[in-house]
A = this chain, B = another copy of it.
Amino acid sequence: MTDTPLQTTEWQSRLLATHVRLRQQAPLVHCLTNQVTVNFVANVLLAAGASPAMTDHPDEVEGLAAAADALLINLGTPSADSIAAMRRASQAASRSETPWVLDPVGAAALPLRRALSLTLMAHRPTVIRGNASEVMALAETGTDGRGVDTQHDSREALAAARRLLAQTDGVAISGRTDRLLGRSAATADAVTVGIHGGSAWQPRVTGTGCALGALISAYLAVADTPLDAMICAHVHAAAAAERAELTAHGPGSFAVAWLDALDRVDLSGFLADRLTLE
C-alpha cells in the first residue's frame, strides 16, 4: 500500500473515533431484513453497540424509518408484505434523510429481486452492498448466479460499481477481498479501498453477509462519510472474525466467538495493515 491520505495517522484516528461513537451513541438501526438471519443480524447489531429494531409491518415502517438513525433493506426473503414495507420505508428514509443501505440479495439470479432493487434505488440508497454478481446485475452489466452466491471476484464488479456511484454514495462489493467504492472526504474524488483478512469461516455461517449490511447502516449514523462507514463496518467485522477464528472449532463456535469479538475487538492493528487503496 502506497502512502496516501487514507493511511495517515489522522485518518486512522478518525476511523477509531467513529468506532467509539458507535458504542457511545448506540444508534437506532431499523432493519427490513430476511427471515433466515433476522435474529443473527439483531444480535450482531447489539454486540457491535447499536440498537436494532426489526419491525416490518407496512403500516409501521414509515414512522420508524423516519425516526431511526439508519435503515437497512435486505432482500433475502421477500414477501408481498415485506416488499410493500420496503417501498414505504425507503421512501420515508429518503424524505427524512435517514441514511440507508440496500442489500440486493439474489438480484443476480432472481428477476423479481432485480426489479425490486431498481425500484427501491429510486429513493437513492446511501450505500449498496452485495456480492459481485449482484452489483453487476444492478448496474445492468450482467445477470447470473445460482441461488444467492456469486461466480465472480469482487474485482470484476468494479466497473459496474463505478457506474452505480451515480445512484448512490457508496458501493461495497463482498468477496475474498472486499472492495469499497466511495468518495474521499477531502477531495470528493472516487476512491476504492480493499479490505483484506477476515476468516474463512465467515461464508460458512449464514448471515455474515447480511450482518455487514447492518453494520454499514449502523456506522452511517455516526460516520463523517459513507466511505468511512463502509470501512469501519468491514474492519469491525473482519477484525472480529480474525479474533474469533483463534478460538473457533468449527462454524458453530465461530459464530458465537464472532459475536463476542464484535463486542470488544480492537480495530487499530487491523486498520494499520489490512487496507489497500486501489
- Which residues of A line the B interface, CB within 8 A? 28, 30, 34-40, 42-43, 46-47, 51-57, 59-60, 63-64, 67-68, 76-81, 106, 110, 112-113, 146-149, 203-207, 248-253, 255-264
Contact A252 B255 (CB under 8 A): yes
* Copies of this polypeptide in the complex: 3
Measured CB to CB, the nearest residue on chain B to A37 is: B39
Tell me the bound Cα distance from A71 to B65 in angstroms: 32
Kindly identify which residue among B35, B146, B250 contacts A38, using a CB–CB cutoff of 8 Å: B35
Asked whether A253 and B249 contact (CB < 8 A) given A36-B39, A46-B206, the answer is no
Which B residues touch A76, using CB under 8 A?
Answer: 54
Asked whether A60 and B110 contact (CB < 8 A) given A28-B147, A40-B39, the answer is yes
Kindly identify which residue among B57, B110, B248 contacts A55, using a CB–CB cutoff of 8 Å: B110
Which of A57, A110, A253 is most buried by chain B, counting CB atoms within 10 A of its CB?
A57
Tell me the bound Cα distance from A184 to B55 in angstroms: 38
Which B residues touch A42, using CB under 8 A?
Answer: 36, 206
Kindly identify which residue among B39, B112, B149 contacts A59, using a CB–CB cutoff of 8 Å: B112
Which B residues touch A147, using CB under 8 A?
Answer: 28, 30, 51, 53, 64, 67-68
A-B contact pairs, 6 of them (CB 8 A): A47-B252, A55-B148, A57-B77, A64-B110, A250-B260, A250-B261
